[in-house]
A and B are shown apart, each in its own frame.
Chain A
């Protein structure tokens, strides 16, 4: 276990964590603002990947695929929120179960539309290389994933902290009734956040599609991981999602590398323990 080993594992853990941040941030926002546990989030992730594939197949452009998929899934999220979740009012359990019902529908629809073959999203050649630094082979794509997560994280943070819109959102999160009292259109904010959450998941799916693949079952595989991120970091906290993503990425990576015997538990055992000790997650608020 020399220095190289630790460096590459840290790098791998960071890049995996970056992907998890993309998936988890949307989930965290949705819960923070709307108190909805969106179990269709994994579906948004996967559908983002599938839509990107369709765009790439028809136009050949990977660059175009990212915004196209993001907007398409954001639209899907918007429709789902407006037409299906909104009418339920504030009923967390039914909302959760409604999202599950949709997750099943999405899974079957994706199978019917795109077949069940396993796909890969192929990024441009420039991103598919590896660069050698000090004897370490660092895939450029992993660095790209870290970059994207940083940019998006920064953009989200700046929006939340420095813009009027961000202040409005934060007000809605803190106290929806007061926010309504000062004239904030909280229902519009809710829809916006849900669509944004879906968008982030879709971007994760496109970016992740080159790394994890796009295949049936990925939606329900990503879901518990996304939840681990959000739970550990704390629901409703963007910074928490970032920390959670880092922790899960690194812990999962090092756990599997150092203790391969318990690979099946490296995700859930820490999650259960953290929740047992701090039920709202490390930075969560209730």
Chain B
């Protein structure tokens, strides 16, 4: 009998712990206050994408700070949840935000996988999902019909690459080799560039696909065809730092055309002088010389100690857009359908420039062709690397000049589409 006592104690303790846990999880959650706008922000707070998550939430929070967390008289309550950049966790947290915390909308997701995972949740739970970063093309193209509560305030992967291909062709490049990360985002960026470049008369003569996370480009660089006029690169994260360095070290002197995130401010401040002269295209550059952007960059840098990347800008301007809609409704939450309609009808002046939306709920915005220069900007006293804007393409939609129906007839950009007709 004495043997049972410790067990009884243990089981009693366990019971107590369970009860406490139950009390903790079963506690009634506060009902949404009448004049409150609850926004769920899903971003990676921990894990290898934590810096991206920090950039995203900092951009969002900065706008809230500037408006005292009040949109048109309504208190804004942001609830930030950690997705660790994993789609199933993003879904779990999204459900929690919507069902437990009664948020009116969720924002976020970084990777395409997260976007594809969160969009169905928005449909099922009839809650607005704003993708400020996740750029997978098809979410606002062939797949949009499945997601009536989904809208993008960021961009689509191929959107900046279409004008870039045109620009490269106009510049006189005839043969380009593409080297892009071997995953969907890479395919869509390269695809966008290839489509317009070849439609204009250029030729993509080789496509190289280093796996995501490649650190040593040694195997790939010597295979670059010698008759290329330039290299189009799509490098993500740390790859963006290593590739230009290794390419230049190998004696390659021809121009590098960096797709989208390859030279974004998430990477540029950490690059060296080897990046000077490299050209890239995106809907944002921190070096944009407009009063709105100058104010944004200076405020962000003062507060968070780094030049804002597009991750920060897109979340800042998303907050701005939500504010604009709330101003129209006098601070009252108009319900998800009306909110989406109003958001889609906006014309906003954001730090990245004027933004509106097409009828597939993707932004129509400026695309900036920018060149890395070592210079002083915004009154900072040290010369630093900046993406100086050399050309602006206004009112660029996700379909470029092709028209929605013609564009949607072609398949989504993939590893094999557009096909490499001129591959030698």
Which residues of A are interface residues toward B (Cβ below 8 A)?
A: 4-5, 8-9, 12-13, 15-16, 108, 111, 115-120, 122, 128, 130, 132, 137, 139, 141, 211-213, 215-218, 221, 252-257, 260, 263-264
Contact = CB atoms under 8 A, between A and B. Distances in A.
A245 to B, nearest CB: 13
Given A132-B251, A141-B249, A260-B208, A116 B52 contact: yes
Contacts of A215: 48, 237-238
B276 to A, nearest CB: 14
B222 interface: yes
Contact of B219 (A108, A120, A211, A257): A257
B78 to A, nearest CB: 21
Given A117-B266, A118-B270, 14 more contacts: A5-B223, A12-B216, A16-B216, A118-B267, A128-B249, A130-B249, A139-B250, A212-B238, A213-B242, A216-B47, A216-B48, A216-B51, A217-B48, A254-B219
Contacts of A120: 241-242, 245, 270-272
Interface in B228-277: 237-238, 240-242, 245-246, 249-251, 266-267, 270-272
Contacts of A5: 222-223
A15 B218 contact: yes
Contacts of A260: 208-209, 220
B179 to A, nearest CB: 11
Most chain B beta-carbon contacts within 10 A, residue among A5, A111, A254: A111
Contact of A263 (B211, B237, B246): B211
Contact of B50 (A13, A137, A216): A216
Contacts of B219: 9, 12-13, 252-257
A263 B218 CA distance: 13
Contacts of B249: 128, 130, 137, 139, 141
Given A118-B270, A120-B241, A260-B208, A13 B222 contact: no
A221 B223 contact: no
6 contacts: A13-B218, A116-B50, A117-B270, A213-B242, A221-B215, A257-B222
A117 B250 contact: no
A252 B217 CA distance: 11
A130 B252 CA distance: 11
A111 B272 CA distance: 23
Contacts of B266: 117
Interface residues of B, number: 37
Nearest to B50: A116
B213 A221 contact: yes
Main secondary structure, interface of A, reads helix
B270 A119 contact: yes
Contacts of A12: 216, 218-219, 222
Contacts of B376: none
Most chain B beta-carbon contacts within 10 A, residue among A108, A118, A132: A118
A9 B221 CA distance: 9
A9 B218 contact: yes
In the complex, the 3 A-B pairs of residues with the closest C-beta atoms, listed nearest first: A116-B51, A137-B251, A12-B218
B128 to A, nearest CB: 29
B250 A130 contact: yes
B12 interface: no
B275 to A, nearest CB: 11
Interface of B: 46-52, 54, 182, 208-211, 213, 215-216, 218-220, 222-223, 237-238, 240-242, 245-246, 249-251, 266-267, 270-272, 306
Contacts of B208: 260
Contacts of A132: 251
Contacts of B238: 118, 212-213, 215, 218
B272 A122 contact: yes
Given A139-B250, A263-B182, A116 B48 contact: yes
A253 B218 contact: yes
A264 B211 CA distance: 7
Most chain A beta-carbon contacts within 10 A, residue among B216, B240, B241: B216
Contacts of B245: 120
Given A115-B51, A116-B54, A216-B51, A263 B210 contact: yes
Contacts of B50: 111, 116, 216
Nearest to A16: B216
A211 B47 CA distance: 23
A12 B223 CA distance: 13
Contacts of A137: 249-251
Contacts of A213: 215, 238, 241-242
A257 B223 CA distance: 7
B226 to A, nearest CB: 10
A253 B218 CA distance: 7
A15 B217 CA distance: 12
A6 to B, nearest CB: 9
Nearest to A139: B249
Most chain B beta-carbon contacts within 10 A, residue among A122, A255, A260: A260
A195 B417 CA distance: 52
A212 B251 CA distance: 19
A211 B245 CA distance: 9
Nearest to A141: B249
A208 to B, nearest CB: 8
B43 to A, nearest CB: 12
Contacts of B220: 256-257, 260
B251 A108 contact: no
Contacts of B237: 118, 215
Nearest to A213: B238
Most chain B beta-carbon contacts within 10 A, residue among A108, A116, A120, A252: A116
Most chain A beta-carbon contacts within 10 A, residue among B50, B222, B240, B250: B222
A10 to B, nearest CB: 10
A6 B52 CA distance: 39
A16 B267 contact: no
Contacts of A119: 270
A238 to B, nearest CB: 24
B215 A212 contact: yes
Contacts of A255: 219
Nearest to B249: A139
A120 B273 CA distance: 12
Contact of A118 (B47, B209, B211, B241): B241
B223 A117 contact: no
Contact of B251 (A111, A115, A117, A130): A130
Nearest to B212: A264
